[in-house]
C-alpha cells in the first residue's frame, strides 16, 4: 500500500477496510498488532547493515572465497578496533586467520600450542567480543535465526554479556566457557562462532557478473554462492555465454570450450560439470596431427608448462574448437540477418590458395594457413566429422546436472540489472547514441532502450530455459543469448566487434582493436549518468551506477570513480590474466551505515599460504562517500517497506479501537 497520511480518519480506514481485514488475519487483536509495531520500529532504528559488492571474479575461487571470509577487510578492521594495543599485532593476525579458516587454523595451532586450555579460554573470550560487535546491527531474533543449532543457546547467552552485570553473572559466563572446554567441545564451538562472525559481517552480497572463464574455479564459486545466505547477481557476458551453452546453443558451447583451453581452466568443464572432452581430443589429434598450432598455446598467467605431449594436445583441441566456433557462429548470423553481422563470417574471407584474408577491401597476411576442415566455397560449413563431434559435445552440456543446477541458481538470484538502496547495478553498459541519449535497439521488430532494453533481454534469457513458450521463441532466445555475448548493441558487450578471429589469424594488430560503444565515452559525464539513473527510476541524494566488465588499469592512471563519484567501476582484475594490465587484483565495495568504501586488493597467493603465515590479502581502502549522519534501516529500501507495514498496522489499530474491525482474543 502507499504511504499513509499521519492523520487517520474513519473515512480513510473505510477506504482500506478490505486490505485491513486481510491484515487482521495475521494480527487479530490490538496486543499482537501493537507488539509488531514496536518490533518494526526497533528494527527501523538499527544501523544500516553492510552490503558487499564484488565484480568479475572470473573463476578465481580462492581469492573470491578469501574476500568473502574477510568481508573485504571488514573483520580485520573490527578486530583492530576492539583490541587496539591490548594484544600484540601477531595475535590479532592469528585471530583474524582463525576467523577466516577455523578448521585449518585450529589444526596448526593444536600441533604447536603447549597449553591448550589457556588458548581456548583466551580465544573463546576474544571471539565472543568480535561476534558481539558484528552482531550489533541486528535484532536478537535475526541473530537467533543464524545461530548454529548445536550452540545456539550458549552463543546467545554469551553475546548478551554486559560490563554492568553482577559478579555472579560474570561467574555464570565463565562457567559456560569452562564447560565448553571441559566437555571437549571447544574446537566445534570455535568453528561455529567463526562461521557466525563471517555470516554476520555482511548482510547482503551483490555480484556484478562474470563468475565464469579465465580462472579454473568458477564451479567452486558457484558452489559457494548456491549455499550463501543472502546474495544477488547481475549477469555478465561470460555468465550469459555459459547460459547459452547450458540452453543448447552450440556457438556458446564452442566459446566456452575455446576459452577454457585458452586459459587452461579445464577443471571447471571436467571436474565441475563432467563435460566429456575425449571426443574433441580424438578429433583434434587426428585432424591437426601435422599442425604445430603455434597460435593456440595456453595463455593462462602463471600456468606451469605441462609435458610437451599434453601441451600439444591442448593446442590442437584449442584450434579445432576455435574453427568450429566460427562455423557455428556463421549459422546464427545466417539465421538472423537483423543482427547485421555478415561481415563477421571471416572464414569465408580466407583465400585458401593465397593464404590471405580479405577484410573490407584489403588482403591481410595470416599467422596460420593450415585449415584441413575448410572446403573452398563452403568454408563456414561444418564437415561431417565436426557435426558428429558437436552432437556429442551438445549432449554432454545438456545432460550435465551440476551445470543446470548452477544455471538455475543464477536464474533464481539474478537479472540484467538490480537496484538496491539508490545503487543501480549492471555488468557492462546501457547502449547510448553519439549524443549520450539512450539508444534504441530493435529486437523482434520492436525497439527498446534503457531499462526497457534490460528487461527485454533479461526476459529472453529466461525464455531460453522456459518450457511454457513455443519452440520457435525458445530457439530465438537461445540465438539471442549468443548475440548478447558479442553483438554490437548488446548491453553486455557494446563494442563494434569481437575481434577473436583477427587475434588468432591476422598478423596486422591494427585489426585486433575493438571500439567500445558510447556508454564508455560518457560514463564520466555526470549529466549522462544522471539521465540513466532517471530512466531506471533510481532516487536518492546519494545515488550511483556500479559496473564491472572493463578492468580499471590503475598502472595507466585510470580511476574507478567517475562522473563526480556517481559511477563506480569495480573490476580491478580478479583474474590473474588481467593483473599485469591493471597492476592490482581487483576492487570490492562495501556500503555500511557510514557510507561507501572502495577496497583495492593486491594479488592473493593462496589459502594455504594465508593459513600457514596468517598473511591476509594486502588491501587499501578509499572512502568514496561518507554520510554526515549514520544511516539506519529506515533509510534503506527495506526500511521503506517496513515503514509502510508500520503505517498499515497503525490503521489496523485505529480500526480495532473504533470498532470498524472486531478483535479476536484468545
Contact between 43 and 203 (Cβ < 8 Å): no
Helix axes 186-201, 89-100, angle to 10 degrees: 90
List the beta strands (DSSP E) in 462-551: 544-547
The CA R_g of the chain, rounded to the nearest whole Å, is 29
Contact between 75 and 194 (Cβ < 8 Å): no
User: What pLDDT, on a 0 to 100 scale, did the predictor assign at position 153?
Assistant: 83
- Alpha-carbon distance 228 to 235, whole Å? 17
Q: What is the pLDDT of residues 410-430, one digit of tens each?
A: 999 999 999 999 999 999 999
pLDDT bracket for residue 445 (50, 70, 90): very high
- Alpha-carbon distance 104 to 97, whole Å? 10
DSSP symbols for 193-253 = HHHHHHHHH-SEEEE-S--SSSSS-HHHHHHHHHT-SSEEEEPPHHHHHHHHHHHT-HHHH
Q: What is the pLDDT of residues 517-561, one digit of tens each?
A: 999 999 999 999 999 999 999 998 899 999 998 888 887 888 899
Q: What is the pLDDT of residues 290-333, one digit of tens each?
A: 999 999 987 664 445 557 888 899 999 999 999 999 999 999 99
- Tell me how far CA of residue 542 lies from CA of 495, 567, 596, 635, 638, in angstroms: 30, 11, 10, 12, 17
Worst-scoring range by mean pLDDT, 127-141, 365-379, 492-506? Answer: 127-141
Contact between 592 and 552 (Cβ < 8 Å): no
User: What pLDDT, on a 0 to 100 scale, did the predictor assign at position 167?
Assistant: 58
Burial of 108 (0-12, 13-18, 19+ CB in 10 A): middle
Instruction: Name 512's bridge partners.
Output: none
pLDDT bracket for residue 144 (50, 70, 90): confident
Is the pLDDT confidence value at 166 over 60? no
Determine which helix (DSSP H) or strand (DSSP E) holds 26, and give its type and residue range: helix 17-26
User: What pLDDT, on a 0 to 100 scale, did the predictor assign at position 210?
Assistant: 95
- Tell me how far CA of residue 179 lies from CA of 121, 173, 186, 612, in angstroms: 11, 10, 9, 30
Domain ranges, ordered by start, for the chain: 10-46+643-657, 51-210+523-631, 234-397
Alpha-carbon 472 to chain mean position:
31
Average pLDDT, the chain: 91
pLDDT bracket for residue 639 (50, 70, 90): very high
Contact between 247 and 283 (Cβ < 8 Å): no
Buried-state track 38-77, b at ≥16 Cβ within 10 A, e below 16: eebeebbebbbbbbbbbbbbbbbbbbbbbbbbbbbbbbbe
What are residue 274's phi and psi, to 5 degrees?
A: 65, 30
Worst-scoring range by mean pLDDT, 140-149, 244-253, 367-376, 454-463? Answer: 140-149
User: What pLDDT, on a 0 to 100 scale, did the predictor assign at position 2?
Assistant: 46
Worst-scoring range by mean pLDDT, 117-131, 170-184, 293-307? Answer: 293-307
Q: Which residues contact 53 (CB under 8 A, 6 or more apart)?
A: 206, 208, 425, 546, 570, 588, 589, 590, 591
Q: What is the pLDDT of residues 86-116, one digit of tens each?
A: 999 999 999 999 999 999 999 999 888 888 9
User: What pLDDT, on a 0 to 100 scale, did the predictor assign at position 300?
Assistant: 60
pLDDT bracket for residue 61 (50, 70, 90): very high
What three-state secondary structure class fits 534? helix
Determine which helix (DSSP H) or strand (DSSP E) holds 140, and give its type and residue range: helix 140-146
What are residue 468's phi and psi, to 5 degrees?
A: -105, 30
User: What pLDDT, on a 0 to 100 scale, did the predictor assign at position 162?
Assistant: 56
Average pLDDT over residues 149-157: 83
More confident residue, 2 or 144: 144
- Of 343, 324, 481, 467, the C-alpha closest to 389 is 324
Is the pLDDT confidence value at 360 over 70? yes
Count the helices and strands in the chain (H runs, E runs): 29, 17
Average pLDDT over residues 179-187: 91
pLDDT bracket for residue 253 (50, 70, 90): very high
User: What pLDDT, on a 0 to 100 scale, did the predictor assign at position 496?
Assistant: 95
pLDDT bracket for residue 165 (50, 70, 90): low
C-alpha cell at 222: 558457484
Contact between 20 and 648 (Cβ < 8 Å): yes
C-alpha cell at 614: 596468517
User: What pLDDT, on a 0 to 100 scale, did the predictor assign at position 415?
Assistant: 97
- Residues of the chain above pLDDT 90, percent: 74
- Alpha-carbon distance 448 to 273, whole Å? 36
Is the pLDDT confidence value at 432 over 80? yes
pTM: 0.92
Q: Is the dihedral of CA 29, 31, 34, 40 positive or negative?
A: negative
User: What pLDDT, on a 0 to 100 scale, did the predictor assign at position 3?
Assistant: 46
- Alpha-carbon distance 460 to 407, whole Å? 15
Q: Is the dihedral of CA 66, 71, 72, 77 positive or negative?
A: negative
pLDDT bracket for residue 4 (50, 70, 90): very low
Q: What is the pLDDT of residues 195-216, one digit of tens each?
A: 999 999 999 999 999 999 988 8
C-alpha cell at 254: 564452442
Burial of 185 (0-12, 13-18, 19+ CB in 10 A): middle
User: What pLDDT, on a 0 to 100 scale, did the predictor assign at position 665?
Assistant: 80
The neighbour count for residue 107, using CB atoms within 10 Å, is 12
Alpha-carbon 77 to chain mean position:
24
User: What pLDDT, on a 0 to 100 scale, did the predictor assign at position 292?
Assistant: 92
Angle at CA 243, nearest 5°, toward 238 and 244? 95
pLDDT bracket for residue 397 (50, 70, 90): very high
Is the pLDDT confidence value at 6 over 70? no
- Alpha-carbon distance 387 to 283, whole Å? 11
More confident residue, 555 or 186: 186
Amino acid at each position: 500500500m502507499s504511504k499513509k497520511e499521519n492523520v487517520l480518519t474513519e473515512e480513510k480506514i473505510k477506504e482500506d477496510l478490505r486490505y485491513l481485514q486481510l491484515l487482521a488475519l495475521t494480527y487479530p487483536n490490538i496486543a499482537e498488532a501493537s507488539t509488531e509495531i514496536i518490533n518494526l520500529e526497533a528494527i527501523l532504528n538499527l544501523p544500516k547493515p553492510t552490503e558487499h559488492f564484488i565484480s568479475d571474479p572470473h573463476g578465481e575461487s580462492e581469492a573470491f572465497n578469501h574476500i568473502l571470509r574477510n568481508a573485504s577487510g571488514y573483520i580485520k578492521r573490527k578486530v583492530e578496533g576492539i583490541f587496539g594495543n591490548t594484544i600484540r599485532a601477531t595475535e590479532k593476525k592469528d585471530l583474524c586467520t582463525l576467523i577466516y579458516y577455523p578448521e585449518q587454523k585450529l589444526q596448526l595451532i593444536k600441533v604447536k600450542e603447549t597449553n591448550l586450555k589457556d588458548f581456548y579460554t583466551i580465544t573463546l573470550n576474544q571471539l565472543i567480543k568480535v561476534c558481539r560487535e558484528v552482531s550489533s546491527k541486528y535484532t536478537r531474533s535475526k541473530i537467533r535465526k543464524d545461530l548454529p543449532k548445536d550452540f545456539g543457546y550458549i552463543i546467545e547467552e554469551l553475546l548478551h554479556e554486559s560490563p554492568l552485570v553482577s559478579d555472579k553473572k560474570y561467574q555464570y559466563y565463565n562457567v559456560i566457557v569452562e564447560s565448553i572446554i571441559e566437555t571437549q567441545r571447544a574446537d566445534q564451538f570455535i568453528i561455529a562462532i567463526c562461521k557466525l562472525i563471517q555470516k554476520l559481517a555482511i548482510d547482503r552480497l551483490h555480484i556484478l557478473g562474470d563468475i565464469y572463464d579465465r580462472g579454473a574455479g568458477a564451479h567452486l564459486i558457484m558452489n559457494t554462492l548456491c549455499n550463501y545466505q543472502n546474495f544477488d547477481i547481475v549477469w555478465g557476458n561470460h555468465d550469459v555465454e555459459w547460459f547459452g551453452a547450458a540452453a543448447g546453443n552450440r556457438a556458446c558451447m564452442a566459446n566456452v570450450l575455446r576459452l577454457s583451453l585458452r586459459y587452461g581452466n579445464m577443471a571447471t568443464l571436467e571436474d565441475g560439470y563432467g563435460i566429456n572432452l575425449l571426443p574433441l581430443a580424438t578429433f583434434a589429434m587426428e585432424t591437426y596431427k601435422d599442425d604445430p598450432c603455434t597460435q593456440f598455446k595456453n595463455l593462462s598467467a602463471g600456468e606451469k608448462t605441462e609435458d610437451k605431449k599434453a601441451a600439444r594436445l591442448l593446442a590442437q583441441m584449442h584450434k579445432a574448437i576455435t574453427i568450429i566456433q566460427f562455423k557455428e557462429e556463421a549459422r546464427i548470423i545466417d539465421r538472423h540477418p537483423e543482427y547485421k553481422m555478415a561481415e563477421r563470417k571471416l572464414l569465408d574471407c580466407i583465400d585458401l590458395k593465397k593464404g590471405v584474408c580479405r577484410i573490407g577491401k584489403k588482403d591481410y597476411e595470416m599467422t596460420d594457413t593450415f585449415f584441413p576442415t575448410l572446403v573452398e566455397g563452403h568454408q563456414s560449413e561444418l564437415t561431417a566429422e565436426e557435426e558428429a563431434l558437436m552432437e556429442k559435445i551438445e549432449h554432454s552440456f545438456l545432460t550435465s546436472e551440476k551445470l543446470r543446477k548452477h544455471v538455475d541458481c543464477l536464474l533464481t538470484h539474478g537479472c540484467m540489472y538490480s537496484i538496491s538502496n539508490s545503487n543501480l547495478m549492471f555488468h557492462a553498459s546501457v547502449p547510448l547514441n553519439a549524443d549520450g541519449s539512450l539508444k534504441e535497439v530493435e529486437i523482434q521488430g520492436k525497439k527498446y532502450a534503457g531499462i526497457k532494453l534490460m528487461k527485454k533481454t533479461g526476459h529472453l534469457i529466461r525464455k531460453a530455459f522456459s518450457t511454457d513458450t513455443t519452440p520457435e521463441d525458445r530457439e530465438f532466445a537461445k540465438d539471442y543469448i549468443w548475440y548478447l555475448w558479442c553483438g554490437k548493441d548488446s548491453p553486455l558487450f557494446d563494442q563494434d566487434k569481437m575481434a577473436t578471429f583477427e587475434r588468432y589469424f591476422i598478423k596486422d594488430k591494427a585489426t585486433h582493436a575493438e571500439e567500445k560503444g558510447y556508454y564508455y565515452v560518457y560514463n564520466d559525464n555526470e549529466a549522462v549518468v544522471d539521465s540513466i539513473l532517471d530512466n531506471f527510476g533510481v532516487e536518492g541524494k546519494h545515488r550511483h551506477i556500479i559496473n564491472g566488465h572493463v578492468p580499471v588499469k590503475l598502472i595507466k592512471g585510470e580511476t574507478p570513480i567517475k562522473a563526480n563519484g556517481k559511477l563506480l567501476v569495480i573490476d580491478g582484475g580478479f583474474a590473474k590474466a588481467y593483473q599485469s594490465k591493471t597492476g592490482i587484483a581487483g576492487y570490492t565495495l562495501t556500503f555500511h551505515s557510514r557510507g561507501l568504501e572502495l577496497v583495492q586488493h593486491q594479488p592473493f597467493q593462496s589459502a594455504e599460504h594465508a593459513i600457514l603465515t596468517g598473511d591476509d590479502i594486502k588491501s587499501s581502502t578509499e572512502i568514496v562517500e561518507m554520510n554526515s549522519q549514520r544511516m539506519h534501516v529506515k533509510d534503506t529500501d527495506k526500511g521503506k517497506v517496513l515503514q509502510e507495514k508500520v503505517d498499515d498496522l497503525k490503521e489496523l489499530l485505529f480500526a480495532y479501537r473504533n470498532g470498524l474491525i472486531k478483535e479476536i482474543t484468545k
